[in-house]
Amino acid sequence: MKKKILAVILSAMVALSLPTAIVAEAYYDFIDLDKKSSSNSNSIFNENINRILTIVTAIACIFIILAILRAVISNIKKSNSKPKLKKFPEKMIPYDFTASISSFIKENDKKFDVQKFLEWTKRIFCTVQIAWTRRDWEKIRAFEKEELFEQHNKQLQEYIRLGRINVIENIDIIDAYLHKLVVDNNFQNLTVSMRVTMNNYVIDEKSGKVIIGNKKKVIDNIYLLTFTRSSGIKTNMVNGFVMNICPNCGATVRSENAGKCEYCGSIIYTDEFNWVLLNFESVDENFVNDNRGIIFLDGTNQF
């Protein structure tokens, strides 16, 4: 980045030399003209006006070039401010089985669109983090399995009891793909691997001071999000959004928006008719990579 900034500065110095020279020349010419005889006062007056205009124009050029230089340097700094991604050991990177898993699901679920599904899972991830920071866990009820919801809610209540806020911000999802599909007679469990960078720290609720972590430190992690749905359920997706049907009034509701139907206020549980988050964990040194892709728990098939 230093080399880029130096190149910009040198270019600007060359560009600035021209209007600076013009200013200097115009100034000294103006002084010389002032020393001349006043016999040709009208002509000299006109020349003086022209010289003054030349000086003003040159000064304006200098300010414009300086403004451009400042903007260029600022953009260079921003483009180089993205955190460097850490290098994960190969064994900690989940295998990518997007193609085979997607093909298998589409055999019985024609509307399944893997790219739209992955975009939806990214929105779910962000919604979970935002709700966690805002300590508004009811919004998660619609797309977390009841056991996982209660587990997360219990953890959040402990933060509230201690007067702490776990701030998660600047979320950047680097990539997401299908890692594993587990199938049995009752359910399909689909695991998504998601690499994410973000800031993650804890502040005191009253003082706002950081008590755990660092505001400026960027966390780089791989997460495994496992979604489940009952066997035989088909994809209900509209314009890239996974849609749910309210069991009380029949209204169509976007699953990542809220845990309640916006029309009648009923709590919506999605696991019986759509994908719902079953498990959420980060990959660590104890992670065991699974190279099977699609797993049939009855043992009759393996893709």
Buried b (16+ CB within 10 A) or exposed e, 116-139: bbbbbbbbbbbbbbebbeeeebeb
Q: Tokens for 206, please give them.
A: 């009253």
* Residue 301 placed within a domain: no
Per-residue model confidence (pLDDT) at position 161: 95
Q: Tokens for 62, please give them.
A: 């200098």
Q: Residue 55 and residue 300: Cα distance in Å, rounded?
A: 87
Spatial CB neighbours of 119, under 8 Å, sequence gap ≥ 6: 240
Domain check: are 55 and 94 in the same one?
Answer: no
Q: Which long-range contacts (CB under 8 A, 24 or more apart) does 12-21 make?
A: 12/65, 12/66, 12/68, 12/69, 15/65, 16/62, 16/65, 16/66, 18/61, 19/57, 19/58, 19/59, 19/61, 19/62, 19/65, 20/58, 20/62
Domain check: are 58 and 160 in the same one?
Answer: no
Domain span at 234: 90-296
Domain check: are 29 and 107 in the same one?
Answer: no
Backbone phi, then psi, for 118, in 5-degree steps?
-65, -40
Domain check: are 94 and 74 in the same one?
Answer: no
Q: Residue 272 and residue 229: Cα distance in Å, rounded?
A: 6
pLDDT digits (tens, 9 = 90+) for 248-299: 676 666 655 445 676 777 666 555 558 899 999 999 989 999 999 999 987 5
Domain check: are 290 and 179 in the same one?
Answer: yes
Per-residue model confidence (pLDDT) at position 274: 80
pLDDT digits (tens, 9 = 90+) for 66-119: 778 777 676 655 555 556 777 888 999 999 999 999 999 999 999 899 999 999
Instruction: Point out which residues pair with 218 in neighbouring strands.
Output: 199
Per-residue model confidence (pLDDT) at position 34: 52
Per-residue model confidence (pLDDT) at position 94: 96
Domain boundary among 45, 79, 113: 79
Give the CATH number, domain containing residue 118. 3.10.450.240
pLDDT digits (tens, 9 = 90+) for 164-204: 999 999 999 999 999 999 999 889 999 999 999 999 999 99
Per-residue model confidence (pLDDT) at position 242: 58
Domain check: are 169 and 47 in the same one?
Answer: no
Mean pLDDT of the chain: 79
Domain check: are 239 and 161 in the same one?
Answer: yes
Per-residue model confidence (pLDDT) at position 303: 41
* Residue 84 placed within a domain: no
Cα-only R_g, the chain: 31
pLDDT digits (tens, 9 = 90+) for 127-161: 999 999 999 888 788 788 989 999 999 999 999 99
Per-residue model confidence (pLDDT) at position 182: 95
Domain check: are 43 and 103 in the same one?
Answer: no
Domain check: are 166 and 257 in the same one?
Answer: yes
Q: Residue 95 and residue 181: Cα distance in Å, rounded?
A: 12
Residue 229 has pLDDT above 80, yes or no: yes
Q: Residue 249 and residue 241: Cα distance in Å, rounded?
A: 20
User: What is the maximum span of the chain, computed from C-alpha positions, in angstroms?
Assistant: 112
What is the residue whose two structure tokens read 């880029």?
4
Strand 187-204 to strand 218-230: parallel, antiparallel, or no bridges (unpaired)?
antiparallel
pLDDT digits (tens, 9 = 90+) for 12-55: 555 555 555 554 555 555 455 455 555 556 566 666 667 777 77
Q: How many domains does the chain have?
A: 2
Q: At 302, is the pLDDT very low, low, confident or very high (cuts 50, 70, 90)?
A: very low
